[in-house]
Amino acid sequence: MSPAGDRVGLEVAIAKKAYLGASGESRAALRDVAFALKRGEVCALLGPSGSGKTTLLRIVAGLDRDFEGGVWLPSPHRLGMVFQEPRLLPWRTVAENLRLAGASEPKSLAEIAAVLGLALHLDHFPGELSLGLARRVAIARAFAVKPDLLLLDEPFVSLDAALALRLRGELQALVETHKATTLIVTHDVEEAISLADRIIVLAGAPGSLIADLAIETPRLAMTSRQAAAIKAELAALAAPRADR
């Protein structure tokens, strides 16, 4: 249970996360990253490569407990996660990968497969799929869980634009129907604005939180103006770092 009550979907307070380097020295990857999301809130996580986005997601998912600080989630909760790499079970078919994630009824399996264009691939093994298809299965698997916490690590990269657009729509629908608290890593400011209620930005080494921006609604009317403003803000935040 969250210390801040049960309307909180996720609370993160990481004082420090360090990795051991190859020669045994400790190297900080995150420092002072604290934020809270309301239940059903969608937060996009932006930041340059190496700023600790994947590290943060792994900590939130409970996959890495070696850090100073805490993460609070409502309990019980169902976690759906899309990793940067698809990470399917190679010895199971696509259908079995989805069933194991929770798409146990034939109807929900068929629905998810149809949405993601996987109907013809249900009997294939992951090794037989292109990277784009494997990514789609990984996304389907996260949706199949009917998660109330959804963590996505650059889920739509390397998919064609039309499919990415459709999947963003699916994600929006999923979030609206299931009120899934969502943290999505992306490099795409437009994608962040079109999906998220909030954008948080990590930067530096170790990565720390340098911005926390609310997205105005109604979203569509604001998109281009706000995209320009947010891009300018991000550029301004990045600028002093260039001459260090």
Ligand X SMILES: Nc1ncnc2c1ncn2[C@@H]1O[C@H](COP(=O)(O)OP(=O)(O)O)[C@@H](O)[C@H]1O
Interacting residues toward ligand X by CB under 6 A: 19, 29, 47, 49-55
The option from ligand X, Mg ion, none interacting with 55 (CB < 5 to 8 A, set by class) reads ligand X
Name the minimum Å distance from CB 200 to ligand X.
12
For residue 238 the two structure tokens come to 């990045």
| 80 interacts with, out of ligand X, Mg ion, none, CB within 5 to 8 A per kind | none
CA dihedral of residues 197, 84, 81, 163 (deg, nearest 10): 70
CA distance 201 to 92: 37
Least separation in angstroms between residue 208's CB and Mg ion is 16
Q: Which C-beta is closer to ligand X: that of 20 or that of 114?
A: 20
Closer CB to ligand X, 53 or 121, in the complex: 53
**Stretch of 8-16, 52-60, 98-106, 220-228 contacting Mg ion, by CB under 5 A:** 52-60
Instruction: Considering the complex, state which of residue 52 and residue 74 has its C-beta at the smaller distance from ligand X.
Output: 52
Nearest residue (CB) to ligand X, 164 versus 205:
205
Rounded CA-CA distance 112/244 in Å is: 48
* DSSP symbols for 149-211: EEEEESTTTTS-HHHHHHHHHHHHHHHHHH--EEEEE-S-HHHHHHH-SEEEEEETTTBEEEE
186 binds Mg ion (CB under 5 A): no
61 sits in which H/E element:
none
Q: Which is nearer to Mg ion, 55 or 93 (CB)?
A: 55
181 binds Mg ion (CB under 5 A): no
Could you give the CA distance from residue 227 to residue 234 in angstroms, rounded to a whole number? 10
Tell me if 54 contacts Mg ion by CB under 5 A. yes
The backbone torsions φ and ψ at residue 134, rounded to the nearest 5 degrees and listed phi first, read -60, -40
Nearest distance from C-beta of residue 57 to ligand X, angstroms: 8
- Backbone dihedral region for residue 223 (phi beyond 0: left; psi -120 to 50: alpha; all else: beta): alpha
Binding residues vs Mg ion (CB under 5 A): 53-54
